[in-house]
Every structure is written in C-alpha cells, then in structure tokens.
C-alpha cells in the first residue's frame, strides 16, 4: 500500500509541473463522498477555472471494537479516491460538478485477543459525483456538496453524499 501512496504522490507532483500555472488547483477535506474521510487534490486540465479536471486523495480512519471474549480488535480503513470531473458554470464562482471514478479501499483488522484473527483485504468501488462547488476565481475558501452514488461487486448505494471544505489557489 505504501508503494501505491508514493506512486499517487509522484503522479500529482508530475502532473502539477506539466500543466500551466494558471490552471485552477485546490485542496480540500471531504467528509462522506468517495473518500469517506479524505484529503484531496483537485486540478483543472486546461488553463481555465472550469472544464475537465481530476482529483486524487487519501483518507481513512481506525476504530477499536470490543468483542465478547474480553478482547478487542483495531480495524483500520485506508481509502484512495481517484476521479475525473467536469465543472460547468457561467460565472467564475458557482459551478455544477459532475464526475466519475474509483476508490481503492484497504481494510486491516488486528485482534489483541487472538493473533490468528488478523485479516486484511483490499477492494475497489466505483463512484459518480453530482454536486455544487463554490470556488472563487482569485483563490480562497472552497466548498463542495453533492450526491455520490457508489457501486461495486453486487451493491449499489444511490443516495450516498458528502461535503468538502478547502482552499482554491
């Protein structure tokens, strides 16, 4: 998993250097949505505020779960949301955002009561995004809110959503 994170970081840095300095870029934290609880980097592909762009992020959390044998487990979830998106707007501040992508998920379960109960697995789920984005032209506070239908092998959640707060530069 460390190699995937390093690869993601290097791709973001290279892409940032390849495109012109005037392309809109932002960083934001998202609660809910494709990353569950994540920090994301977003950038337009062209030298303008709207249009085609992408997002890459990393997130996750850990919880401690007590079991019936007076033991406990620590469950950790790592998410890596990747998305292609498009911003539509007539002014330079309010946008309708649409996107599609995939989120890589890695789950680890470490039991303190029995070392044989340790388990790890990785998976991927797809997601769509339909929402509102407030993004000032000259930079500053960024806000996103939207519906994020998620789907995978045998499941579909059409009413999953999220909010984001960050900074556009």
Mean confidence (pLDDT) of the chain: 87
Q: Which residues contact 37 (CB under 8 A, 6 or more apart)?
A: 30, 31, 59, 60, 61, 79
Boundaries of domain holding 116: 2-159
Q: Which of 109, 55, 101 is nearest to 77 (CA)?
A: 109
Residue 152 lies in a domain: yes
Is 168 among the domain residues? no
Task: Note whether residue 54 is domain-resident.
Answer: yes
pLDDT at 8: 59
Q: For residues 2 and 22, give the distance between their C-alpha atoms in angstroms, rounded to a whole number.
A: 31
Assign residue 55 the CATH number of its domain. 2.40.160.20
Phi, then psi, of 101 in degrees rounded to 5: -175, -160
Where helices occur in the chain by DSSP H, the ranges are: 2-18
Rounded to a whole number, what is the distance in angstroms from the first to the last CA of the chain?
30
- Report yes or no on 78 lying in a domain: yes
Please give the pLDDT value at position 110. 81
* Half-sphere exposure for 37 (CA within 13 Å, toward CB): 6
Are 73 and 64 contacting, i.e. CB atoms less than 8 angstroms apart? yes
- Within a domain: 164: no
Residue 16 CA to residue 11 CA, distance in Å, equals 8
pLDDT of residue 63: 87
Q: What is the pLDDT of residues 135-163, one digit of tens each?
A: 998 889 999 999 999 999 999 999 999 99
69, part of any domain: yes
Q: Is residue 48 part of a domain?
A: yes
Q: Is residue 20 packed enough to be buried (19+ CB in 10 Å), middle (13-18) or exposed (0-12)?
A: exposed
Rounded Cα gap, residues 125 and 101, in angstroms: 9
Say how far apart CA 89 and CA 109 lie, in whole Å: 44
For 76, 129, 131, the CA distances from 99, given in Å and listed in that order, are 27, 5, 9
pLDDT digits (tens, 9 = 90+) for 34-84: 999 999 999 999 988 999 999 999 999 998 888 777 677 888 999 999 999
pLDDT category at 12 given cuts 50, 70, 90 is low
- Domain membership of residue 169 (yes or no) is no
Reported confidence tier of residue 111, pLDDT bands at 50, 70, 90: confident
Domains of the chain: total: 1
pLDDT of residue 166: 98
pTM: 0.81
């Amino acid at each position: 998993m460390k190699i995937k994170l390093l690869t993601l970081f290097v791709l973001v840095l290279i892409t940032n250097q390849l495109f012109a300095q005037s392309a809109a870029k932002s960083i934001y934290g998202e609660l809910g949505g494709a990353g569950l609880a994540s920090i994301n980097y977003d950038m337009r592909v062209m030298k303008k505020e709207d249009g085609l762009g992408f997002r890459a992020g990393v997130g996750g959390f850990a919880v401690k779960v007590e079991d019936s044998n007076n033991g406990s487990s620590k469950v950790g979830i790592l998410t890596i949301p990747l998305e292609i998106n498009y911003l539509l707007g007539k002014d330079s501040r309010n946008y309708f955002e649409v996107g599609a992508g995939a989120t890589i998920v890695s789950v680890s379960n470490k039991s303190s009561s029995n070392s044989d109960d340790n388990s790890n697995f990785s998976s991927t789920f797809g997601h769509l995004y339909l929402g509102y984005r407030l993004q000032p032209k000259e930079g500053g506070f960024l806000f996103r809110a939207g519906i994020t239908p998620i789907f995978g092998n045998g499941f579909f959640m059409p009413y999953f959503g999220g909010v984001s707060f960050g900074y556009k530069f």
